[in-house]
Structure 1
Amino acid sequence: MIPAAFDYVAPSTLDDAVRALSEAGEDAKVIAGGQSLLPVLRMRLAAPSKLIDLGRVAALRGIREDGDALVIGSMTTHYEVQHDPLVREHAALLAAATDTVADPQVRHRGTFGGSLVHADPAADLPAVALALDAELVVRGMDGSRTIPVSEFFTDFFTTALSPAEILVEVRLPKTTGWRAHYEKFNRVAQAWSIVAAAVTVRVDGGSIAEARVGLTNMGSTPIRATAVEQALVGQPATAESIRAAAAHAAEGTSPPTDSNADAAYRQHLAQVLTSRAVAAAAGV
């Protein structure tokens, strides 16, 4: 298929990119890695008047430490995230989940920020960002602002980002020394998950001192399984206590029914996968 005609611009600075987006109007689109947007354009599910390519904006790439936070530029590729030693040390859950994203070709082109802004509730990384209490720094003509991840995802493929704003970087509180596991269930390799559980825990003296759990494809946005987290904290890291806590995984969720699974099956999967992920992270 061939996309509808559009104008194209590839700015080299963030200021120029923001200006181009502001001047283009609300039907413009920003392209990062293009792994989600290009298929949409080819199927003509979107027909923007202008495409603003961020590939030349070097300021949007890179991973660095900033005190207690790990800062990842929005145009940093999945491959770069996957292999960065800072991510492995300070955000093990992100590293574990990124290892499972699609295939090597997609990981070399797709970007961390692009995945978050696309806001597919079945995608791997939005649930991880939610579980890690990320903050998203965005930039528009009026300056920069920071959006807590708990307020960023608002609906299917919809975020709190305004049409004239660009995601600049993602700030993740360090979870150095925490253990992590990403448990993903899909029908075939490299497909979207039917359900996945993103888990990171801090184990102290054989008990779970802190826990964070995110779920994919359990609603119109990624889900933070706070009931599971609360049930885990202070409990011994045993198979029995983990299964009891994971039984709360489906609470408050509204998973879809589609050709892959119905809602009840997804709720069952959420409990099973959460139990497996917590057990793996805790070393049980």
Structure 2
Amino acid sequence: MINIQNYVQAESLEEAYQLNQKRSARILGGMLWLKMANITVGTAIDLCRLGLNTIEETPELFSIGAMVTLRQIELHPGLNAYTGGAAARAVQDIVGVQFRNMATAGGSVWGRFGFSDVLTFLLSMDTSVVLYKGGVVPLETFAAMKYDDDLLVRIQIKKRPGVFVYQAMRNQRTDFPVLACALSRVGDEYRAVLGARPGRAMVIRDEEGILSGGITAKSAEDFAAYAAERTPTGSNSRGSAAYRTHLVRVLTRRSALELGGMEIWK
């Protein structure tokens, strides 16, 4: 059971940052995972007063505050228009509506969990995080970084022309994914993102141009094999490494075929 000794609603990002420098401090998101930890928190820092619970849309980008809930992402019309509904599909099977009403985008990205549908999907786009001290960092770089005491303030998605697909295999609908797959074409680049390997999501780019001549049944199968060869997998209670490698091929092929029939957002 978690034991919180001191609770503070920060009045500024600077106050939150200074409080977070102590090893016993924790930034609060939705508290859906943190509350299950058997730890003592010296100072729990709540960002609820800092206006980070909105999705701001401009002609160039989406800016998602760290305290935005997964439900807000699921229902945002602009984000779903840009992604062809893939944003909603990426989060709609995460436990239930009540859970998604509390789970935050910032907590999902900061955690960099291997099972994260959110991280997997965001990596398929031109996404960066805005850190209070670290500034703007590409999400792919951030996902590989070690945890530190900085603050994740916002998530930015550039509105580059593209198409996006999200698929996942679950043993039951609201369980963690056995394997997650996001496939996209952003500009002229095709990329597959494989999550729940069960390791942290990784990006596989079409560096050999397998899909550059168009998506057909053969090119989709070839790219799926290419992705499977380059995606390390492991075993846990949800599935074996061999099963996950098989799923990489299946979900990547299905996603590529779905992507091939979609119109590029411009």
Query: Once the 2 structures are TM-superposed, how far is the Cα of residue 144 of structure 1 from its aligned partner?
Result: 4.8
Deviations, residues 90-110 of structure 1 (Å, cap 9, x unaligned): 344433312332211111111
Query: Once the 2 structures are TM-superposed, how far is the Cα of residue 4 of structure 1 from its aligned partner?
Result: 3.0
Query: Are 1:99 and 2:92 matched, yes or no?
Result: yes
**What does 1:1-284 align with in structure 2 at a 5 Å threshold?**
2-22=1-21, 25-40=22-37, 44=38, 46-58=39-51, 60-92=52-84, 93-139=86-132, 143-154=133-144, 159-163=145-149, 165-176=150-161, 178-201=162-185, 209-218=188-197, 220-227=199-206, 230-283=208-261
Question: RMSD of the TM alignment (CA)?
Answer: 2.2
SS at match of 2:106: helix
Structure 2 unaligned spans of 5+: none
Q: CA contact under 8 A between 1:120 and 1:221: conserved in structure 2?
A: yes
Partners of 1:195 and 1:242 lie apart in 2 by 18
Q: CA contact under 8 A between 1:138 and 1:161: conserved in structure 2?
A: no
Deviations, residues 157-210 of structure 1 (Å, cap 9, x unaligned): xx44522x110011112145x33221110111111101011112369xxxxx54
Q: CA contact under 8 A between 1:6 and 1:48: conserved in structure 2?
A: yes
Partners of 2:169 and 2:63 lie apart in 1 by 29
Partners of 2:220 and 2:41 lie apart in 1 by 48
Identity of counterpart residues, as a percentage?
25
Q: CA contact under 8 A between 2:19 and 2:43: conserved in structure 1?
A: no
Query: What one-letter code is carried by the residue in structure 1 that aligns with 2:82?
Result: H
Query: What one-letter code is carried by the residue in structure 2 that aligns with 1:7?
Result: N
Query: What one-letter code is carried by the residue in structure 2 that aligns with 1:145?
Result: G
Structure 1 unaligned spans of 5+: 204-208
Q: CA contact under 8 A between 2:129 and 2:139: conserved in structure 1?
A: yes
Query: Once the 2 structures are TM-superposed, how far is the Cα of residue 220 of structure 1 from its aligned partner?
Result: 3.1
Partners of 1:54 and 1:230 lie apart in 2 by 44
Deviations, residues 4-62 of structure 1 (Å, cap 9, x unaligned): 3432112243233223223xx0231111111222222xxx1x4332211222322x121
Query: What one-letter code is carried by the residue in structure 1 that aligns with 2:137?
Result: I
Partners of 2:146 and 2:61 lie apart in 1 by 22
Q: Residues 168 and 202 of structure 1: is their aligned pair in 2 closer, same or farther, counting only changes over 3 Å?
A: closer
